[in-house]
Structure 1
């Protein structure tokens, strides 16, 4: 196995427990409850004590909802990814709504718009996005947004439909101006390993100006592994590297950022509160 195929080392435990707000445990190779426990045990070694595992199609949504019942450290988000909305009909909508109403499903997501890939027409994506917005409002759960090369349309549709009480921009990819617009609207920005990339200067500026109660940290594992392990397999424990990187960018103690990440995730997803120390 080449070094590029190897997982990064598990970092030293964070000085305060944190939460990975967006990961894909199934895509990390988990199939069974034992697999999930191994991933969460490894995450716990780094101080990442809970995760939200996220679906991108119906099969993943079924798995995520079930996996959230296997381990108290796991919660789920269910939706159909914008790139998979070409054939998003009544049967699919009915199943998504059934899954989203699960007790341990804490968000509607990931949904939104993706103009980078040409898998679903923009019209189908926008229709599905509007439906997911309405669903989030009906079930009173946060909306978890996937936004790739679609900033203006995402913000426009949120305004047209009326945003749910809580909106999370998963793997935030905007610049400082976009971050200000989101912050002014009360949206929460979730930073993935991309915020640690050396060439992500616009994202660095965005991360610096977000208020302390307005951000989360995620892995989006197995993708977007933080610097200096970019390109290698990602797992929830790697969120600890992003906590360190975000603390450095913001000029704040790592413990303060870890505490903010945990407290914000608990508020956003209505998770049981766990104090640090």
Structure 2
């Protein structure tokens, strides 16, 4: 079965997501928050799914996206910490957090401060750090050098080339590949995927964003991780069953899921 390492589901859309997952052979996902409100919602969703669908493998990640860094407060970071403390079985990650200097919806200084604080949270609670970086590789690596990295980190929706992949791997990161890998102009991403070690590869949807070819431009769903994963397995020249087993175990290991 497939597993989606990064998605943004909603409680009102989860039943249709589950139908799509069942149809596509997807057995789990990580529900990722991007603000205090959405992080709380992801934790509640995961707790509910664990009760109603114990066969699913699910976990939540709580964080403040770089787009929202300008409005982030110390109280917000405290709430993220309290979510981890109150829900230790459900919260597997911190983030998505990081730097986005492409859109720069928040001041770079605010982004960096929020990023550093969330690195500290991941280290304090031994949670996986889920990283968003866009047009900010050098700054991201500089902050890694300053702060140190937690035991487990994921470069979410990896869009770098082989050099960025190599440097990320040197920090011990997992590289998570989305539907972008299927896009015609994403040759650098595909080359990064081909050079990555077997035990450092994850697959994600980033649903509802980044639907893979041939669904590009439509709202994405968790079940579509099967389409991206099938494409990547063929690109790597491995059997889908073997690639599913590999990426499933990698996701379990990356988030320390049970």
Give the TM-score, by structure 1 length: 0.88
Moved segments of 4+, more than 3 Å: none
- Describe the SS at the equivalent of 1:49: strand
- Describe the SS at the equivalent of 1:108: strand
Residue 93 (structure 1) aligns with: 77
Give 1:36 deviation, angstroms: 2.1
Give 1:245 deviation, angstroms: 1.1
Residue 42 (structure 1) aligns with: 20
| Residue number among 143, 149, 153 corresponding to 1:163 in the alignment | 149
Give 1:47 deviation, angstroms: 1.3
> Can you give the 5+ residue segments of structure 1 that lack an aligned partner in the other structure?
1-16, 273-277
Mean Cα deviation higher: 137-146 or 73-82: 73-82
**Deviation per CA, 1:114-173, whole angstroms, max 9, x where unpaired?**
111132100010011000000000000100001111111111101210000101000001
- Describe the SS at the equivalent of 2:97: strand
Residue 66 (structure 2) aligns with: 82
Residue 68 (structure 1) aligns with: 46
Map of 1:112-151 to 2, 5 A cutoff?
112-151=98-137
| Residue number among 96, 107, 131 corresponding to 2:93 in the alignment | 107
Root-mean-square deviation (Å): 1.1
| Residue number among 113, 122, 140 corresponding to 1:154 in the alignment | 140
Q: Is the 8 A contact 1:77 1:100 kept in 2?
A: no
- Describe the SS at the equivalent of 1:85: helix
Q: Is the 8 A contact 2:149 2:171 kept in 1?
A: no
Q: Give, in whole Å, the separation in 1 of the partners of 2:23 and 2:59.
A: 19
Give 1:80 deviation, angstroms: 0.6
Give 1:228 deviation, angstroms: 1.2
Q: Give, in whole Å, the separation in 2 of the partners of 1:180 and 1:242.
A: 22
Q: Is the 8 A contact 1:207 1:249 kept in 2?
A: no
Q: Give, in whole Å, the separation in 2 of the partners of 1:249 and 1:78.
A: 32
Q: Is the 8 A contact 1:75 1:104 kept in 2?
A: yes
Q: Give, in whole Å, the separation in 1 of the partners of 2:235 and 2:178.
A: 14
Give 1:255 deviation, angstroms: 1.4
Give the TM-score, by structure 2 length: 0.94
The count of residues paired between Structure 1 and Structure 2 equals 250
More helix by proportion, 1 or 2?
Answer: 2
Q: Give, in whole Å, the separation in 2 of the partners of 1:241 and 1:266.
A: 20
Q: Give, in whole Å, the separation in 1 of the partners of 2:217 and 2:211.
A: 6
* Alignment pair present for 1:56 and 2:34: yes
Q: Give, in whole Å, the separation in 1 of the partners of 2:252 and 2:109.
A: 34
